Structure 1
Amino acid sequence: MNQHTTPLLLSADDKAEVLRRIPLTDSEVGVRYDEAFVEDLLFKQPSALPIREIDSTYSHPVPICTQLSTRVGSLDVLYVTPEGRLVIVEAKLWRNPEARRKVVAQIIDYAAELARWAYTDLEREVAKRRGVTSDTLFSLVRAKHPNIAEAEFVDNVSKSLRQGRFLLLICGDGIREELTSIAEFLDRCTTLDLTFGLVELAIYGTSDRRQLVLPRVLAKTVTIRRQVLRIESNNYSVIEEDDAEEPEQSLSAEQVVYVQFWKDLERAMALDDASQPPITVAKAANTSLRMPSPSAWVTLDFLKNPRLMRVFLAFNRGEPGDSFYNRLTTERDQIEAELPSGTTWESKDGRHRVAISSQYSDLSDDNERQRAIRWFSLTANQFVNVFRPRLARYLAEL
């Protein structure tokens, strides 16, 4: 339902002008209102984005560039906040249900791709797009917010990329997608930390050919937190991965053990693939490594009964997870030759995994902790070497 009422423009002599809504595809006024118009408007006027109504932690975005090139396409507009948070905007005119589904999947693909980048990758691509050579991100933000510290800003941007923490906005006209439909796409993106919003831009024309832009939030989601697949006693469930940034003094004794273990493992883990983001330090018995597609990930975890430590590749239910797993099965003999003996393949209720496990005893024993760290380091590195390039290839061929 259209919630915009007809606006009135009052002049100094109390005359009222009823403004006419201009569809973004209307060329009668002499301007072609299209996606390029929306993109240019939002880049030049970031205050038109009602970000505070969606997530105030992304306030004061600084426009960085338009049409940023990535491996999965060019995203429309990129912003960075003074706190190092990233905002991705897609300017779209949704004319049919299929286009709506595609644009939501598209913006998630952009987020998944950026989550694979380091700060230097982002800096390089932005510099190429803007035609400059150095200090791109920090210089642009410092010009608007001169008191920010460079080291802290770089660290914060790096952390946003590493954690896949982004605000995704789809902005335009003709947007009528229901939030329940959008959740279908966000459900496939369990390895990122996303906030999502739909923004309608209603444009009205005045008699002297000026335009009045009225942004409106149509829908927003709560943050989509990281999740991992837990498989115990033949039961499948998706659980939320705990936030490792909580102060350790508020943790239970068991959580302190896990936080310290994952920290030690993160420091010790040497991955051959330089493009692989590190594990997330968690206060739970599990953590994960992101794969090229958000529909697949490698989980590292501990089971208590029986006492097993495991590394397994898992997929979201449905597509493209089904296709990824099926493609892997065609290379099963070669994959098993590259992985340690004892690797198992399992499909159940539409869920798939490739896993290996080893027994452990007591993590409070230093020798046992070091053995577990060595096992996880070696095994996780093997899984990354085997599965990451294959999944990247499958994703490119979709």
Structure 2
Amino acid sequence: MSARPPFIVVLLKELRETVRDRRAMGLVLLFVLMYPMLVGGVLQQQISRATKPEKEGIELTVIGAARAPTLMTQLKQKNVTIHAADAMTEEQITALLRSQKTAAVLRLSDSYGDDYRSMRPARVELWYDSASDNGRKVGDIEHVVRSYGNTIAGARLLAHGVSPATLYPVQLQKYDTGTSASRSSAVIGTMLGMFFIPAFFFCLSTAVDSTAGERERRSLEVLLAQPASPLDLVLGKWLAAALLSIVGLTLELIIAHGVLKWLPLEEIGMSWRLSWADLAIVCVTALSLPLFAAALEIALAINAKTFKEAQTTASFAIMIPMVPVIVVPMMNLTTATWMYLVPVLSHQTLLRELAKGQSVGVLPFALTFGASLLLALLCIAFTVRRMKSDRYLMAI
């Protein structure tokens, strides 16, 4: 029976130690669940706000409701509950709105009836608190009042033998060709990068402990004394950390996909049309990202003399991939080929384009996978060279 390659022995040794480390496994479980639940919670809150007025109705306080019975009837037809009130001062109206007992206050002027009968503009005041969560309810109330005014204007024109169409010399018709999937990618697109950033956190503890941690415990000397080359040692440690990140990232993407599939996004005019086959392709393409994350952290940690120093350095360094993910969506840039060359941003862009239901071709997949893999190999080459140097061996 042939002996195992040295890097396999190192890989299995690091995996055993990682599985026994409750801190590392707890960190993986935390990030596997945290980001999908966070995105799901944000979207669920938006859905709840969008459907809340329809489910609960709208509470509206009206001052002078008896002066406009037809308007009150139309408001009630739109699931608006009318609470008639006597005359109130501005301070009283403000206090009522701050109490959150009503969505808005509608005040009809004392001369409303006379102005209406004389065909003069009848003043209606809409009081609301823009700092509250009743923005959608206020918009619904305003829409009813405007529709009521347009109906009256049309009836008056007809009474004088004038067609209401005279008020609208130009008729604009709008056609939205955007699909619910494309709208979803525009809104959720900025959140998709969050699903790939944990790839750097999944392997952080393992990468740091297997390099700087062993150096601090003086156990790295024992490994270097074994009949294994520095390349075998680095490969074993790298693959162990990367494997943990691959498992964590895959589980996270599966959970996130399941959450987005389960949410009733149609309530807010969106949908998540990414299929499980598309997700499988994304997971395969994303394999190079954990490889890069583990290689980068090992390359940084190999130079640290203590576990704490390595953890601090690696934690600051992994903030760099977050910058393009945050900045690029804020700039409203169109999708370009260079985006597929930037780790994390490339994965975010690829997943966003697939969520739109568009065919992206083979090149984006190849660039996304190859760019991260190339950076990973460069980091590994640096680490091996560093471990071979006499200065490094003397400092152990």
Shorter-chain TM-score tier? under 0.3
Give the alignment's TM-score, normalised by structure 1. 0.22
Greater helix fraction, Structure 1 or Structure 2 = 2
TM (normalized to structure 2)?
Answer: 0.22
Quick one: higher RCO (CA 8 Å, sep 6+), 1 or 2?
2
Q: Which has the higher strand share?
A: 1
